[in-house]
Amino acid sequence: MQTNLIARARDWTSYLSMDHIRTLKVQKDKSAPIDRSVGPNGGTDRPTEYVKLQSVSLGQSICPNRLIDNVSLEVACVKNYTKRHNLSISISWYLNWFQRGTYLRNGPGLWHIDDNDFRHLFDGYATLVRLHFENGRLTFGHRQVESEAYKAAKKNGRLCYREFSEVPKTDNFLSYVGELASLFSGASLTDNANTGVVVLGDGRVVCLTETVKGSIEVDPETLDTIGKFEYGDGLGGLVHSAHPIVTEREMWTLLPDLVRAGYAVVRMEAGTNERKVVGRVECRGGPAPGWVHSFPVTEHYVVVPEMSLRYCAKNLLKAEPTPLYKFESHPESGSYVHVMCKASGKLVASVKVPNFVTFHFINAYEETDEEGRVTAVIADCCEHNDDTTILDKLRLQNLRSFTGQDVLPEARYGRFRIPFDGSDIGELGAALDPNEHEKGMDMCSANPAYIGKKYRYAYACGAVRPCNFPNTLTKIDLVEKKAKNWYEEGAVPSEPFFVARPGATAEDDGVVISVISDKNGEGYALVLDGSNFEEIARAKFPYGLPYGLHGCWVPKK
Ligand SMILES: CC1=C(/C=C/C(C)=C/C=C/C(C)=C/C=C/C=C(C)/C=C/C=O)C(C)(C)CCC1
Ligand SMILES: [Fe+2]
């Protein structure tokens, strides 16, 4: 039976308030109207909080894969419904090892407050999605991260902090002057932690964005917002990389210095809240540091990219979004890659490279000669052919239009080579022919055990064209220089996340998890085999989810 559980749109939208928890009528009604207006390819933008569902259950075979012998879906009356809603999808499959642990995915998920609609994908308030695997059951839930920005917006019915492209309305000049002061203190910047989620070495789970104040600890079980992650080091900083490098022992991140153009490279020991400055990189171009959404590390070095797309204090202040939002392109200033020794904080290489545009570095490693001496650092990223238009393409209006049209800007598996021979020039090319992934490429992950080391495989969102957004899950083999796709017509997958099989020896021995929005905006969790990239399991959600960004795996203790 192909019945879907769909709450009528009217019912959902009338339960916006977190404070008024009521029972929703869940109806087996395929024809019920749903607001599919948000996210690339729709997604169902419903108020996300606290829904007490009527108890419904049905048996359903939802995976064609022969490895799944039986799937049943039950929507239970959630006891603890003041915390979250919770749907239980029972799957029995043969991957016993993969039955204990939680996949969390963060991303912007709510793009309006009352009647105020946001403009850009990155503006949305953070929504956490949780897929908990245990004893052959998948428990699914999702919830808003309760940042100050989100709570203030809900309370006041309007935007109160500066988001990626949205700015609160200023009534008069005096309050504008106040705004200026609050901007430089960081007070007016958002703490909407809508970009990534990481598990620190001591087990704490933190949602992140690019503002330092937007580091928020959450409970991976209940999705409760525990509170602000306070850095107790006095380092301050307004912005940092949205993607720190986290291991069991430590966390590395970059703090761009918007006043004295440069970057502080900082390290935080696991179990502490104290970042320590290991070294500083001075920018070689100007007038401000290049935007650094992410960066890679090798075993011994931190790679600091300096893009010619640079932060712009003036644009931070503008009331209306500029074409490049908070940034400004300075192709004439050049682009550079710097390499710092983790142990000494000394700069060991700094090279000029062709201009590039990247949000996501994938990995980096050291190239060595026969004697084991490091001759170069190789750093890989999703590179948008030095085309900044990707930022504007991610405006909600663009994502909602152009379905089926070939408007996705081209991207490649960018590979930098930073030589250690003292030369001033680095190389940038493609690690494989971009036609392998139809020149669509972003949202990459690799086996976490290979971070900083020579690696062979990566998982990304690629393209089957024509498309207006990446629409495949793609396994990339950097030795064979081949890509293998998972693709379903009209579906929009989120970042493929690799989870290694405990005890695995092969790099690709594990599973790849993704959350998919199908062509109707409904959704399912998908599990692929990391080695042959075949589908192992899928579990359909009773409603669609908005597009999300980055995830993490929280192993069950
Ligand atoms: C809030 C402020 C800022 C915020 C920056 C944010 C939230 C940046 C988020 C960047 C993300 C999510 C990038 C993802 C890229 C995905 C791509 C390119 C996918 C492509 C598919 O083809 C600042 C701007 C830092 C200023 C202060 C305030
Ligand atoms: Fe990101």
pLDDT the model gives residue 33: 30
pLDDT the model gives residue 321: 86
Q: Tell me how far the alpha carbon of residue 543 lies from the centroid of ligand 1, in angstroms.
A: 27
φ/ψ bin of 157: left (φ > 0), alpha (ψ from -120 to 50), beta (otherwise): left
pLDDT at 165 over 80: yes
> Which-ligand-closest: CA of 394?
1
Domains and CATH numbers, the chain: 231-487 (2.130.10)
Mean pLDDT of 464-483: 96
Count of other CB atoms within 10 angstroms of residue 475: 25
Mean pLDDT of 220-243: 94
Instruction: Kindly report the protein residue whose alpha carbon is nearest to atom 19 of ligand 1.
Output: 442
pLDDT the model gives residue 68: 24
CA distance 92 to 72: 9
Mean pLDDT of 292-306: 98
Give the position, in ligand 1's atom list, of the atom nearest the Cα of 327: 24
Q: What 3-state class would DSSP assign to 385?
A: coil
pLDDT the model gives residue 183: 63
Cβ–Cβ under 8 Å, residues 282 and 257:
no
Q: Tell me how far the alpha carbon of residue 319 lies from the centroid of ligand 2, in angstroms.
A: 25
Mean pLDDT of 91-113: 74
Band the pLDDT of 319: cuts 50, 70, 90: confident
Among 239, 387, 388, 471, name the best residue to mutate to test ligand 1's pocket (greatest count of ligand atoms within 8 A of Cβ).
239
H/E stretch holding 53 reads: strand 52-53
Q: What 3-state class would DSSP assign to 519?
A: coil
**Which residues have a Cβ under 8 Å from the Cβ of 156 and sit 6 or more positions away?**
none
pLDDT at 96 over 60: no
- Single out the residue of 534, 530, 529, 412 nearest to residue 470, CA to CA: 412
Question: What token pair was written down for 274?
Answer: 């104290």
pTM over 0.90: no
Please report, for residues 45, 212, 291, the alpha-carbon distance to residue 239 in angstroms, rounded to integers and kept in the order given.
Answer: 29, 5, 10
pLDDT at 487 over 60: yes
What residues does ligand 1 touch, defined as CB less than 6 Å away? 122, 162-164, 189-190, 195, 209-211, 239, 242, 293, 326, 359, 390, 442-443, 470, 549
Band the pLDDT of 235: cuts 50, 70, 90: very high
Query: Which amino acid is it at 268?
Result: M
pLDDT the model gives residue 475: 98
Q: Tell me how far the alpha carbon of residue 212 lies from the centroid of ligand 1, in angstroms.
A: 14
- CB contact burial 492-522 (16+ within 10 A = b; e otherwise): bbbbbbbbbbeebeebbebbbbbbbbbebbb
Q: Tell me how far the alpha carbon of residue 291 lies from the centroid of ligand 1, in angstroms.
A: 10
pLDDT the model gives residue 404: 82
Question: What token pair was written down for 191?
Answer: 């703490």
Cβ–Cβ under 8 Å, residues 437 and 463:
yes
CA distance 305 to 325: 20
Query: Which amino acid is it at 525?
Result: A
Cβ–Cβ under 8 Å, residues 252 and 243:
no
Ranges 15-19, 73-77, 204-208, 433-437: which has the least confidence: 15-19
pLDDT at 338 over 90: yes
Return the residue matching tokens 């192909």. Answer: 2
CA distance 438 to 412: 9
pLDDT the model gives residue 53: 33
pLDDT at 51 over 50: no
pLDDT the model gives residue 171: 64
pLDDT at 474 over 60: yes
Band the pLDDT of 47: cuts 50, 70, 90: very low
Question: What token pair was written down for 277?
Answer: 């400055």
Give the position, in ligand 1's atom list, of the atom nearest the Cα of 239: 25
Give the position, in ligand 1's atom list, of the atom nearest the Cα of 411: 22
Mean pLDDT of 207-214: 98
pLDDT at 114 over 90: no
Cβ–Cβ under 8 Å, residues 11 and 26:
no
pLDDT at 50 over 70: no
pLDDT above 90: percentage of residues in the chain: 62
**Which residues have a Cβ under 8 Å from the Cβ of 324 and sit 6 or more positions away?**
309, 312, 315, 388, 391
Q: CA 206 from chain center: how many Å?
A: 13
Q: Tell me how far the alpha carbon of residue 299 lies from the centroid of ligand 2, in angstroms.
A: 22
pLDDT the model gives residue 14: 22
Report ipTM (2 d.p.): 0.95
pLDDT the model gives residue 97: 55
Give the position, in ligand 1's atom list, of the atom nearest the Cα of 190: 1
pLDDT the model gives residue 35: 31
pLDDT above 70: percentage of residues in the chain: 79
Q: Tell me how far the alpha carbon of residue 306 lies from the centroid of ligand 2, in angstroms.
A: 17
pLDDT the model gives residue 24: 30
Burial class of residue 372 (count of CB atoms within 10 Å of its CB; 0-12, 13-18, 19+): exposed
Q: Tell me how far the alpha carbon of residue 276 lies from the centroid of ligand 1, in angstroms.
A: 25
Which residues participate in the annotated binding site for Fe cation?
243, 293, 360, 550
Among 165, 243, 295, 326, name the best residue to mutate to test ligand 1's pocket (greatest count of ligand atoms within 8 A of Cβ).
326
